[in-house]
Amino acid sequence: MLSFDQALSQLLGAASALAEASSLPTLAAAGRVLAQAQRAPIDAPPLDNSAMDGYAVAVSDVCQVPTRLSVAQRIPAGSVGSPLQPGSAARIFTGAAIPAGADAVVMQELCQHVAGEVTINHLPEAGDHIRRAGSDIAAGSEILAAGQRLRPQDTALAASVGIASLPVVRRLRVAVFFTGDELRMPGEALQEGAIYNANRFLLTGLLDALGCEVRDHGQVPDDLVATRQALRAAALDSDLILTSGGVSVGEEDHVKAAVEAEGRLEMWKIAIKPGKPLAFGQVRGAQREVAFIGLPGNPVSSLVTFLMLVRPFVLKMQGVRRTAPLSYCLRADGEWARPDARREFLRARINAAGGVELFANQGSGVLTSAVWGDGLVDNPPQQAIRRGDMVRFVPFSELLS
């Protein structure tokens, strides 16, 4: 058996980042992977500006309280005032540029403004309520690194320094299909022995959440010719082919034989639970070989192997540099008395006290465990969990982005 780390490093070793990038309007770039680092062309904020609605003053004019100053100008955000004359104040609003000669802003709650004069009831210190030019970003500094998936705050940062378009990596094209004569779509009648194709919803949704272009080839019958045809069709315009089912030791499935006939295949047994069997290979496409990953059919095994192994593979192909998910060390508020010899990924939930509770039925077909849970406890082989032990928790929210 391969360890989880061995399987992951083999997968990552085989994942080469897509080279193609294009330019997108910054407004449309969230969710995409940045192809080149970005530097700020200007300071942010671009000018010293007020953090409050109030009065811009020279501290040297306010040596005692109260002090009365004439209000010589009014500076709303978006306009630039004139230099402050000694003995005067400027009415100023949040975000407006600080006039030359002023070195503090007194918030209006600490002032009284009557007929062209303001009484300052607070002794300001130089710099009060002034946001300095460049205090967030200095012109020329790197603001976004290559290989990061752009979140709304990232595109907002680029926009804040005037970057109108961003170079992004092309989306990964992933073809999926699902083998099994027993698979039906919701809406179809379910004869005895048939099941609904839950994994079609699972895998297309997971790939979509990672920003992939999904080519959904649907169900493929349990037949070698049909499976080979499906593989050839999938390889035509995809970077990765992903399937579920048919990777254990049974004889009914044709995925293994079909991939071997259309390319190369390695069958892995990974020391994790769920998700022990996994197929990894290549299928010959028109111009190049296309990666193939076959996930186990049990829906929770599919989910776990996708999140822990396929996700990093997909991210790396999409040019993402940090593929490991963040995880947290949290207190167990429950027990796991019969640990497995394999490393387990247990469906778990965070309770109101911040502790981790495990779903009672951890069967690999029990999809309700994944719906109930907020994430996975990554439990080492043979390690029993007692109440109060610290466990490693990986939230689904971290794995789905």
Binding site for ligand MOO (CB under 6 A): 273-276, 296, 298, 301, 364
With vertex at residue 222, the alpha carbon angle to CA 219 and CA 223, rounded to the nearest 5 degrees, is 115
Tell me: does residue 270 bind ligand LQZAQKY5 (CB under 6 A).
no
Q: Which residue's beta carbon is nearest to the bound ligand LQZAQKY5?
A: 297
199 in Cβ contact with 47 (< 8 Å): no
Q: Are 355 and 324 in contact (CB under 8 A)?
A: no
Sign of CA dihedral 222, 223, 229, 235: positive
Distances (CA, A) of 187 to 184, 195, 297, 365: 8, 12, 21, 21
3-state secondary structure of 296: coil
Nearer to ligand LQZAQKY5, 253 or 378 (CB): 253
Choice between 100 and 341, CB closer to ligand MOO? 341
Contact (CB, 8 A) for 35 and 169: yes
**Which one of ligand MOO, ligand LQZAQKY5, none interacts with residue 128, CB within 5 to 8 A by kind?**
none
Tell me if 281 contacts ligand LQZAQKY5 by CB under 6 A. no
- Is the distance from CB of 304 to CB of 376 less than 8 angstroms? yes
Identify which of 341, 321, 333 has the alpha carbon closest to the alpha carbon of residue 377: 333
Residue 286 contacts residue 301 (beta carbons within 8 Å): no
Which residue's CB is nearer to ligand MOO, number 8 or number 230?
8
Q: Pick out residues in 233-252 that bind ligand LQZAQKY5 (CB under 6 A).
A: 244-250
271 lies in the site for ligand LQZAQKY5, by CB under 6 A: no
> Which of residues 62 and 242 has its CB atom nearest to ligand MOO in the complex?
242
**167 or 365: CB nearest ligand LQZAQKY5:** 365
Q: Which of residues 162-201 bind ligand LQZAQKY5 (CB under 6 A)?
A: 178, 180, 183, 195, 197-200
| Residues linked to residue 57 through DSSP beta bridges, in sequence order | 104
Q: Give the residue with the Cβ less far from ligand MOO, 254 or 273.
A: 273
Query: Which residues would be at the binding site for ligand LQZAQKY5 (CB under 6 A)?
Result: 178, 180, 183, 195, 197-200, 244-250, 253, 274, 276-277, 296-299, 301, 364-365
